[in-house]
Every structure is written in structure tokens, then in C-alpha cells.
Chains A and B, each alone.
Chain A
Amino acid sequence: MATEVMAQAEESRTNYLTNGHTVKSWLLTLDHKRIGLLYLFSISIFFAIGGIYAALIRLELITPQGDLMTAETYNRVFTMHGVMMIFFFLIPSIPATLGNFLLPLMLGTKDVAFPRLNLLSWYVFMVGAILMLITIMSGGVDTGWTFYPPYSSIYSNSQVTLAGVSIFITGFSSILTGLNFMVTIHTMRAPGLTWFRLPLFVWAHYATSLIQVLGTPVVAITVLALAFERTLQIGIFDPKLGGDPVLFQHMFWFYSHPAVYIMIIPSMGVISELIANMTRKKVFGYHFVAFSSLAIAVFGFLVWGHHMFTSSQSMYAGMVFSLITYAVAIPSAIKTFNWTATIFKGSVSYDTPMIYALAFIGLFTIGGMTGLFLAALGLDVHLHDTYFVVAHFHYVMVGGAIIGYLGGLHFWWPKMTGRMYPEVWGRISAAIVFLGFNLTFFPQFIVGYLGMPRRYHAYVPEYQVWHILSTAGASLLAIGFIMPVVYLAWSLKYGEKAGDNPWMAAGLEWETSSPPPTENFTYQPVINHDAYEFENVKEIKEAAAKEAALQTA
């Protein structure tokens, strides 16, 4: 009887979504789950803006003449594409949405360590983003997202200062999120949840936060210096004024290379969760996967010079940076092999999250391996600043980070909303994304080696065929990205009710209700086992019992 009462109470209990319906209850919420959704909503808009810019780029490049828009417009378009996607979508994508939503759930706590700071991060992010939108409306920036001086500081006629201020502010959002996560992981773990019982998603976020905390301040001071050089004309980076343009490159890449890992490591964390839960197997070599995230984060700080092999830095500096870069390749390889081994003798589900996870492994392998080309000194001299680089980082950023993000979004969607997305549509769109992506970016490897430099508005006619293929792929990719928006929105109202644990997954977040209550758990979770122990999942036990009963009948 007692359980019945409790079940009823469970039914009528308000969850985090129904706990307050006013706009104020969302805008002033301290609930990490709601803040995660605020981010989800905002970055989706910025992804759409970045996507429109991508479409314009691909349309322009169908013909070699550069006839759709002027060179000046095109330069602003590709810059805004990069800025939007990197600073306002990729960097916050997984940490600020899935990370915010899931970290306290996975740790068995009520919230992140500093909920007010968490909300503040979102506001800071939005202030930065609105400044960037103002930048766009007042003409945009034409320097490329790398803002290399002296072009950016002295010669450009676009809104560099405003954009710099926007990025400076947005950086603090990233720093605060990272700091909050690190403290949360250190101090808020549920009783019994030791470091090596943590889900790999948490390990990945720990490594990511480390980069955010250590790297972002450096880029903040760099863009600040750039803004000062531009407004006051003081010689920081422009040699005519006594500055050094290569210093900017060093300082910029000291952050911006690790920033690449801010984008990819959380995605790796998602993939670890997806593969374990979709095959019901412990992640093969848990410790290796966990530490490889940290290794990537730490080594990531030592390789920035590999963006500067042709920049006039010394030959020996180049060699050192190249060698350390190969050291980063090893932990990435370890992860890939361990994921593959996890599938071995598993119980493989073919649901959408698994399709995304497998797509990730394949695409990330190509993305990572082509990184070896670029880290190879003698070859990078030819490849640097060509479309080969463009293809490489899109394989990592789209094929890695975004695919992981989409996989994670599908996987945790029922937990976040309480509803299932339509599975068939999920699989179809995953397949379209995979095909469209490869068609878009694989030709760019070829045209890059043929010599097509990046950031070209017009190009020599012999490259056209590759650009046409790429644009065709981009159209397909756009369809693949629009479909989830439609069916996920549809599922909010019409989706099947999900239940607490639709995937029969292991993990603390699946033990609470879907959507979770505001305080996450109605009890204090105590953990006495490792991550990914599927024998403990009660839904699997029930299913097994049912099947056994059926068989005997």
C-alpha cells in the first residue's frame, strides 16, 4: 500500500519543466536543467545563423568567378560563419547544454556547485551573443575568425573592435561554466561515487573544463590587446608601430588550439556513454579512455605552434611542435580503438544514438588521421591554409563534435522532455547527415591538395567540379540538420511518453523520473558500483523476467 501511495505521489509530482510556467521562472531559474535548456534554445538559433552563412558560402563557390556576392561581402560571410559556429555554437554546444543538464544528475546531486554563477554564465553568454548580432547588423567582420593582425588591427574597415569585445565577454561565460563544472565534480559527487566510478561523460567534461579555465583567459587578453591596438593605434601587433604580428598568432593559438579540444572532448564523452549504453557493455579499458581525455587536454596546451609552420617561426620550434602534436594523436587513437572494442560481443542496438555514435567513430577517424597530415612538417607547408585544412577541421568539428552532440541530444531527449522522438525519422536523418557530410567535405581534401587556398571568394576554374560536389553535399547536409529540428519539436507534444529509462541504460540520470524533478532525486543516491553495470538496471531485469516467463509459457 505504501508503494501505491508513493507511486501516486510520483505521478502528481511536478518535474523541472512544470515547476513554474512564467517567463520569469525560466529567466531567473537557478535550476541547472532549465539553464541547460536556455542554452539549447540559444545555441540552436546561433547554429541556424551560422548555417545560413555556410549555405551562402557554398552557393557562392558553385562558380569560380565569385558572382553571387562581392568579395567584401563574401569575406564577411565566411568570417561570421566561423565566429558564430565556433564561439557561439561549438564551444558551448555540449558542455553548456548536455553538460549542464546531465552533470549534476550523473553525480547524484541537486545542482551544480554555484547555481547563480551558472545562470550568470548564460547571461554573460547572451550579452556577448547580442553584441555579436549587433556586429553583424552593423556590417560584420571581414578578418576571418582568426583575427590576424595587422589586417584586423589596422587595415580592416569592419567592426573588429565590437566583435573583439563580444568574444572577450563570451569567453567569461565559458570560463565560469568550466570553473563551475570542475568544482562540482570535485566536491558534489554522491556518497560512494569515487573518481573511477564516474561516467566517462563526466571525465570528459572535467578535461574540457580544465582547458576552459586555463586557456580562455589568454584569448580574452589577446582580443583585448587587439581591440586596444585598433582603437588607440598603439604598437602591440603591427610592426609599423613597433609590434609583432607573430606574437598574436602565438597567443591566439595558445587558446584556440586547446579550444578545438573544448569542442571535441565533450563529444567523445557523449560517444562513450552512447556506445556503452547502446551495446550494454562496460566501456573497454575505462581507465585508458578516462585518462586519454586528460592527456588530450594537457598535451593540447603544448602544440599551438603547429598552426605556424610557415609563419616564420624557427625550424626547430616547428619540429618540437610537430613531435608533441603526434603525442596528442595517441590518446585519440586509444579512444577510437577502445570504443570499437566495446562493441565486440555487445548487445548492439540499432537506434538513432548508436547510428550517430558509429558515424562519429568513422568520421573522427578520418578527421584525426588527416590531422597527422597537417602535423607532418614537410607536408603541411603545402597543405597549410588550403581546403585540406578546411576539410580536416570540419571532419573533426562537424563529423566529430556536432555528430556527437546530435547523438547525445537524441539519447537524452526522453530524459530532458519525457517524450520519445520518432525513431524512424531519427535514423533517416542520421543517415542523411552522414552521407551529406561526406559528400560536402571529402571533395575538399582533394581540392585542397590541388592547391585551392581557403578564404577565396573566386578561384581558378579547374577546381570547380569539386566545389559543385561539395555544394551538393551541403544541400543534403542542410536537410539532415533541419529534419531533427522539426521532429524533435513535434515530439514535444506528440511524442510517445518515454518512461524513466527508455534505453534500459545504466547511469544515475536514468534512475530518476523523466523529466526529472527540480531537485533531481527524491532521495539521496548512494553508489556502490562502477559505471556501466548493466546487471543493476532494473528495466533490463524486468524485461528478462518477462521474456523468461513468455518462454516457459
Chain B
Amino acid sequence: MSDHAAHVPGLAHHFVNMEQQKEAGTIGMWLFLLTEIMFFGGLFLAYTIYRAKYPDGFLQGSHLLSVPLGGLNTVVLIVSSLTMAMAVYYSQLGERKKLLGFLALTLILGSVFLVVKYFEYAEKFQHHLFPAHWMYNPAADHPPTQYHGQVQVFLWIYFMMTGLHALHMIIGIGLLLVIMFMAHKGKFSKQYNSPVELFGLYWHFVDIVWIFLFPLLYLTGYHVGGGH
């Protein structure tokens, strides 16, 4: 009998063995990321259509965003992907301390991203650039008056895309805390480490989304120069 199978740590009772469990987790995570692509896909579609419809508004709108801050965040996220990859690597070697160290680094970098994002958002709110109708009231030169409506469209796309992305970051940090807690408790070993690996997939995905968002939103009008 395979009764002893139930005693393998980390193996849920309904799976036959570790391989099956790991395969299920991996396929599950990839499918989940597929749904995420479709989810963001709707917004990318809206971006494409409105950019074609309002090219000038998008140029003007992108000048409202801070390239240095966006660039900083891009670097932060790319580095966090590296630390996450290292965490996955050490989880597979079963090195608990290094695993925890790299998870902590990832956590710090993720938080830095969100703090920077917070300042970017706060600045927009201060300048009445949040596109809700009762608030949207850009100062006279910023953006040029005749593009108000178009820039408003750009700004809702900006807020919706980056907001959704930030939400994914927040969820990611929550999950990261859980993973760190599990690692701290010594749940992971050479044999059982798929949660770290699967979380790593999620983290990289969120990172990649940002890699698309940064040029599409921040750099769209960069070649035209500051404008003001």
C-alpha cells in the first residue's frame, strides 16, 4: 500500500505523489497568468485604440508623467525580479537563510516601488490630474487647453493600468509575506519548494507587465521633447 505517501511533508492527500502535485501547481499558475494576460489585454486594447484616435493627447499626456520616477521604478522591479530568481534558486537548494534573505530583498524592492508610485499618484492628485470629472482641472499650461479632453482619456488609461498593476503588487507583497512566514517556519526543502517557485512566476509576470507599461505610458512622447 502507498499509505506512507500521506506522510510526505507538503503532499496534499488527494495527490498521488509529489510530481503530480508539482505539475498541477505549475500548470495552474501558468493558466492563472494566462487569465491575467487576458485581463490586462482588455486595457492594452483600449490603449491601442485611443492612442490611434488621440495621438496628440497621448503625447501631451505622457509629458505629465515623470520619466525619472518611472525609470527608477523600472530598475527597482527588474532588480526585484533578480532577487526573486535568486530566492527560487536557494529554495531549490534548500538553503533557508539565503532564501529568506532574498525574499526579504524582494519585499523591500517591491515596497520601494509602491512608495515611489504613491508619490507619483499624490503629485497627480495635487495637480488635479486625476481624471474623475469632479476633480480633473489641470492648470492652464499643463496640459495645453485644447487637449484637455484627450489628455483625460490618456490619464484614465494611465490610472487604470498602473492602478491595476499596483494592486497586483500589493497582492504580491501580501503573498510574499506568507511565503516568508512559511520559509521562516522551515516548510520548504529540496523536495518541497514549489510555492516559492510559483510565486516567483507571479512576481515575474507583474514585473513584465510593468516593462510594457513604462514605455507605453511614460515614453510615448519622450522623443518630442518636454513641450513645456
Q: Which of A's residues lie within 8 Å of B, judged by CB? A: 109-111, 113-115, 175, 179-180, 182-184, 186-188, 213-218, 220-222, 225, 228, 232-236, 241-244, 247, 251, 524
Known contacts A179-B32, A187-B20; is-contact A234 B131 (Cβ 8 Å): yes
| Chain B residue nearest to A110 in the complex (CB) | B14
Question: How distant is A298 from chain B, measured CB to nearest CB, in Å?
Answer: 14
Give the one of B35, B39, B133 with max A CB within 10 A.
B35
* Selected contact of A233 from candidates B35, B36, B40, B133, CB within 8 Å: B133
Considering the complex, which residues of chain B in the window 1-55 have a beta carbon less than 8 Å from any beta carbon of chain A?
12-16, 20, 23-24, 27-28, 31-32, 34-36, 38-43, 45-46, 49-50, 53-54
* Selected contact of B31 from candidates A183, A232, A244, CB within 8 Å: A183
What CA separation (Å) do A169 and B50 show in the bound complex?
Answer: 27
Is the Cβ of B152 less than 8 Å from the Cβ of A234? Answer: yes
Q: Which of B's residues lie within 8 Å of A, judged by CB? A: 12-16, 20, 23-24, 27-28, 31-32, 34-36, 38-43, 45-46, 49-50, 53-54, 131-134, 149-150, 152-153, 156, 160
Known contacts A113-B24, A214-B35, A235-B153; is-contact A251 B45 (Cβ 8 Å): yes
What CA separation (Å) do A251 and B32 show in the bound complex?
Answer: 20
What CA separation (Å) do A214 and B33 show in the bound complex?
Answer: 10
Contacts of A222 in B (CB 8 A): 42
Question: How distant is B30 from chain A, measured CB to nearest CB, in Å?
Answer: 9
Question: How distant is B55 from chain A, measured CB to nearest CB, in Å?
Answer: 14
| Chain A residue nearest to B28 in the complex (CB) | A183
Q: Ordered nearest first, which 7 A-B pairs have the shortest CB separation?
A: A217-B39, A233-B133, A221-B42, A232-B132, A111-B14, A217-B38, A110-B14
Contacts of A213 in B (CB 8 A): 31, 34-35
Is the Cβ of B28 less than 8 Å from the Cβ of A179? Answer: yes
Is the Cβ of A113 less than 8 Å from the Cβ of B28? Answer: yes
Question: How distant is B3 from chain A, measured CB to nearest CB, in Å?
Answer: 12
Is the Cβ of A175 less than 8 Å from the Cβ of B156? Answer: no
Contacts of B133 in A (CB 8 A): 232-234, 241
Contacts of A183 in B (CB 8 A): 24, 27-28, 31
Known contacts A182-B27, A182-B31; is-contact A235 B45 (Cβ 8 Å): no
| Chain B residue nearest to A190 in the complex (CB) | B16
Known contacts A234-B131, A247-B46; is-contact A218 B39 (Cβ 8 Å): yes
Question: How distant is B206 from chain A, measured CB to nearest CB, in Å?
Answer: 15
| Chain B residue nearest to A235 in the complex (CB) | B153
What CA separation (Å) do A111 and B23 show in the bound complex?
Answer: 15
Contacts of A228 in B (CB 8 A): 156, 160
What CA separation (Å) do A243 and B156 show in the bound complex?
Answer: 11
Give the one of A113, A180, A215 with max B CB within 10 A.
A113
Question: How distant is A103 from chain B, measured CB to nearest CB, in Å?
Answer: 13
Is the Cβ of A244 less than 8 Å from the Cβ of B53? Answer: yes
Is the Cβ of B31 less than 8 Å from the Cβ of A221? Answer: no
Question: How distant is A364 from chain B, measured CB to nearest CB, in Å?
Answer: 29
Is the Cβ of B49 less than 8 Å from the Cβ of A244? Answer: yes
Contacts of B45 in A (CB 8 A): 247, 251
Is the Cβ of B39 less than 8 Å from the Cβ of A221? Answer: yes
Known contacts A242-B149, A247-B46; is-contact A214 B156 (Cβ 8 Å): no
Contacts of B15 in A (CB 8 A): 188
Is the Cβ of A214 less than 8 Å from the Cβ of B34? Answer: yes
What CA separation (Å) do A221 and B160 show in the bound complex?
Answer: 10
What CA separation (Å) do A260 and B41 show in the bound complex?
Answer: 21
Question: How distant is A516 from chain B, measured CB to nearest CB, in Å?
Answer: 14
Known: A217-B39, A234-B131. 19 other contacts (CB 8 A): A111-B14, A114-B28, A182-B31, A183-B28, A183-B31, A187-B23, A214-B38, A218-B41, A233-B132, A234-B132, A235-B156, A236-B46, A241-B149, A243-B153, A244-B50, A244-B53, A247-B45, A247-B46, A524-B16
